[in-house]
């Protein structure tokens, strides 16, 4: 069989996958084993699909297998067989029927799947079917057992005080140590250990960061400042964060909530087994380990937790909330969600919305009458919305939520859901197929049409400039909706990030100097309106007097 000419061999594609770089069968070893099998069995490999460093638990993220299925189902292929090393390389799906379904799609399209390293022939016989299903179940069970072992090992490492992933708050650093406990160096954001024998421990950050952390707790606990107000103060004073990103309410909350501020590392608050949805574990399963000296006083930290629980449960007295809102109304002469969120002495707008039902009800309680902003899309009739869906389909050849959101002549997709119950119902009324299989196949077909390797760097950057020139702004939705550009993933793979692609294209973004200066001007005007100096603090006595 090895002496057959290439013209007489059966054209075949090969699929390669490995979960990590340390896996027993690397892509090169799989390629060599499949090539040897193909040479002996009369196959000629004409195309390769590969997923490097991808888990076999689901189809999500496996671009190679997705492209393979798209080519097979749409008929854009030049082969009649797919060579895979073994059943586990095809996938370790927790539902064995999922793996069988993808193989059935190939077989029903005239392409058979051949397992080169298995001791059976995938010929549809009863023996091969039984053995194949057993192999699938064994592959999924292996993943379950490995997940349990990995989770147990991480818990044991956390009990010893070693970092087990996830981000760390401002004021804390990760330090790499060797197997014998010798310090190597401090890890910067985004860096990870390179040796399995190394460990990562916690350490307090630089003195200036520790002073900022203590100041955050002082402003929140003693001065009773809101998290939004604290973030605004730090941004106005240009206090740097760990990675240079501007302060936000979320970052302030991370500092206030982390028990690393009092020297304890808490692990296993949530779990995500087998790449499934994340679920919160009960406190009895949490791992709490002392890893360093406290940065803030434990009593002050406990007060901060009580205050956050007070705010989170929306237990502000209504009379106090109205008093603060009335004072803000006297100072600004108007009320908006943005003004409330930026005010240092009022709860956030969400608290008012929760206690009073709507912001308009809270406004009315303090004597401010405002005309509710019209919701975009109310003026559209059902016929106009359906006509818009048909227009997009005729223009692009398909319709997606990203296309609807990017089109300025249509409201957002939320209006379609509100009006028709779901996006799929809107598609059905417009006369388009709404089955899940049809939607998936259409998405796979579009993905195959927009392959990133067909675009040069110059073409990608020119596409960004064209979108910005046409719409006056650039977003991920616009890139995903553009029929002549690949998905956002292509830009990230080519340039490292979308922000870098925007910078290379010369398109102003949220972090550009022009926009940053404009935002600073907005903050200054708002501060002047509120007559608020972020470098000073108004005492409780002053608040009571006013």
3-state secondary structure 223-246: CCCCHHHHHHHHHHCCCCCCCCCC
**Strands (DSSP E) found in 20-171:** 43-52, 81-84, 112-115
CB atoms within 10 A of CB 346: 24
| Token representation of residue 449 | 């049409």
Q: Cα(442)–Cα(447) distance, rounded to whole angstroms?
A: 9
Total residues found in the chain within this entry: 546
Q: What are the structural domains of the chain?
A: 6-145 (3.40.50.1390), 172-310 (3.90.1750.20)
Two structure tokens written together for 62: 């496996």
Spatial separation of the C-alpha atoms in residues 415 and 425, rounded to whole Å: 13
**Do 344 and 226 touch, CB atoms closer than 8 A?**
yes
- Give the span between the Cα atoms of 456 and 252, in whole angstroms: 41
Q: Is 164 exposed, middle or buried (0-12, 13-18, 19+ CB in 10 A)?
A: middle
- Alpha helix (H) ranges present in 241-293? 249-257
376's tokens: 């975009």
Strand, helix or coil at 50?
Answer: strand
Q: What is the pLDDT of residue 523?
A: 52
Distances (CA, A) of 160 to 154, 156, 184, 227: 10, 7, 18, 33
* pLDDT at residue 538, rounded to an integer: 43
Alpha helices, H only, 160-290: 207-217, 227-236, 249-257
Q: What is the pLDDT of residue 434?
A: 58
- Residue 183 contacts by C-beta under 8 Å, 6 or more apart in sequence? 175, 176, 177
Q: In what order do the strands lie in the sheet with 112-115?
A: 43-52, 10-18, 81-84, 112-115
> What is the C-alpha to C-alpha distance for residues 58 and 277, in angstroms, rounded to an integer?
13
pLDDT per residue as tens, the chain (546 positions): 444 455 678 999 999 988 765 555 578 889 999 999 999 999 999 999 998 877 777 788 788 898 999 899 888 889 999 999 998 888 888 888 888 889 999 999 999 999 998 888 888 888 888 988 888 888 888 888 888 888 888 889 989 989 988 888 999 999 999 888 888 888 888 788 877 888 999 999 999 999 999 999 999 988 888 888 899 899 999 898 877 788 988 899 999 999 999 999 999 888 877 766 778 888 788 888 999 999 999 888 988 887 776 444 445 678 888 998 999 999 988 898 888 877 777 877 877 887 887 888 899 999 998 765 544 556 778 888 888 888 888 877 778 887 788 777 888 888 888 788 788 888 888 887 655 445 544 554 554 445 556 778 888 888 888 888 877 778 877 787 776 788 777 888 888 888 888 888 888 765 444 444 545 555 555 455 444 444 444 444 444 454
| Residues paired with residue 271 on neighbouring β-strands, in sequence order | 279
Distance from C-alpha of 262 to C-alpha of 542, rounded to nearest angstrom: 32
For residues 457 and 377, is the Cβ–Cβ distance under 8 A?
no
Q: Are 269 and 281 in contact (CB under 8 A)?
A: yes
478 near 400, Cβ under 8 Å? no
> For residue 423, which of 441, 445, 405 has the smallest C-alpha distance?
405
Q: Is the pTM of this model over 0.85?
A: no
Through-space distance between the first and last CA atoms of the chain, rounded to whole angstroms: 95
Specify whether the CB–CB gap between 388 and 409 falls below 8 A: yes
Phi and psi for 162 in degrees, rounded to 5?
Answer: -95, 140
User: For residue 378, what pLDDT is reported?
Assistant: 62
Residues 6+ apart with CB under 8 A from 290: 161, 263, 264, 265
Rounded to whole angstroms, the Cα distance separating 3 from 9 reads 10
**pLDDT attached to residue 400:** 80
DSSP state of 222: I
Alpha-carbon distance 72 to 59, whole Å? 16
> What pLDDT, on the 0 to 100 scale, is given for residue 546?
47
Residue 313's pLDDT is 42
Residues paired with residue 82 on neighbouring β-strands, in sequence order: 13, 113
Q: How far is residue 194 from each of residues 197, 453, 526, measured CA to CA in Å?
A: 9, 31, 48
Max Cα-Cα span within the chain? 98
């Amino acid at each position: 069989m090895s002496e057959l000419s290439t013209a007489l061999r059966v054209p075949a594609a090969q699929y390669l996958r490995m979960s990590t770089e340390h896996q027993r069968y690397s892509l090169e070893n799989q390629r060599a084993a499949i090539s040897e099998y193909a040479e002996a069995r009369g196959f000629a490999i004409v195309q390769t699909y590969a997923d490097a460093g991808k888990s076999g638990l689901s189809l999500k993220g496996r671009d190679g297998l997705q492209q393979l299925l798209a080519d097979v189902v749409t008929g854009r292929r030049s082969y009649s067989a797919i060579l895979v090393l073994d059943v586990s390389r095809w996938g370790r799906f927790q539902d064995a029927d999922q793996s069988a379904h993808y193989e059935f799609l190939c077989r029903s399209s005239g392409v058979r799947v051949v397992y080169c390293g298995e001791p059976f022939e995938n010929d549809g016989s009863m023996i091969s079917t039984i053995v194949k299903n057993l192999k699938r179940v064994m592959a999924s069970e292996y993943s379950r057992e490995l997940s349990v072992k990995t989770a147990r090992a991480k818990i044991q490492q956390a009990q010893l005080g070693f970092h087990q992933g996830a981000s760390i708050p401002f004021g804390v650093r990760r330090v790499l140590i060797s197997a014998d406990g010798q310090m190597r160096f401090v890890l910067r954001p985004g860096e990870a250990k390179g040796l399995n024998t190394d460990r990562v421990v916690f350490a307090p950050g630089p003195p200036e960061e520790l002073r900022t952390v203590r100041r955050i707790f002082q402003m929140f606990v003693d001065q009773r400042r809101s998290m939004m107000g604290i973030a605004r103060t730090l941004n106005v004073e240009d206090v740097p964060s760990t990675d240079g990103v501007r302060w936000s309410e979320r970052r302030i909350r991370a500092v206030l909530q982390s028990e690393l501020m009092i020297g304890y590392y808490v692990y296993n608050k949530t779990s995500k087994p087998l790449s499934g949805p994340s679920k919160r574990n009960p406190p009895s399963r949490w791992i709490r380990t002392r890893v360093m000296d406290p940065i803030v006083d434990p009593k002050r930290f406990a007060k901060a937790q009580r205050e956050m629980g007070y705010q989170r449960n929306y237990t502000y007295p209504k009379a106090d909330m109205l008093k603060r809102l009335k004072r803000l109304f006297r100072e600004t002469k108007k009320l908006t969600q943005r003004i409330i969120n930026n005010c240092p002495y009022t709860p956030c707008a969400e608290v008012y919305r929760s206690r009073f039902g709507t912001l308009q009800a809270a406004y009315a309680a303090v004597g401010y009458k405002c005309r509710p902003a019209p919701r975009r899309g109310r003026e559209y009739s059902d016929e106009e919305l359906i006509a818009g869906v048909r227009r997009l389909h005729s223009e692009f050849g398909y319709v997606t939520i990203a296309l609807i959101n990017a089109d300025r002549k249509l409201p957002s997709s939320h209006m379609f859901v509100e009006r028709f119950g779901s996006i799929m119902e809107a598609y059905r009324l417009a006369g388009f197929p709404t089955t899940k299989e049809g939607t998936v196949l259409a998405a796979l077909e579009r993905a195959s049409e927009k392959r990133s390797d067909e675009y040069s760097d110059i073409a990608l950057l020119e596409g960004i400039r064209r979108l910005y020139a046409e719409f006056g702004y650039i977003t991920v939705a616009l890139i995903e909706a553009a029929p002549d550009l690949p998905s956002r993933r292509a830009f990230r793979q080519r340039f490292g990030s979308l922000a870098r692609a925007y910078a290379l294209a010369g398109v102003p973004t949220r972090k550009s100097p022009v926009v940053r200066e404009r935002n600073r001007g907005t903050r200054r005007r708002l501060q002047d309106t509120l007559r608020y100096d972020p470098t000073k603090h108004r005492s409780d006595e002053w608040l009571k007097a006013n």
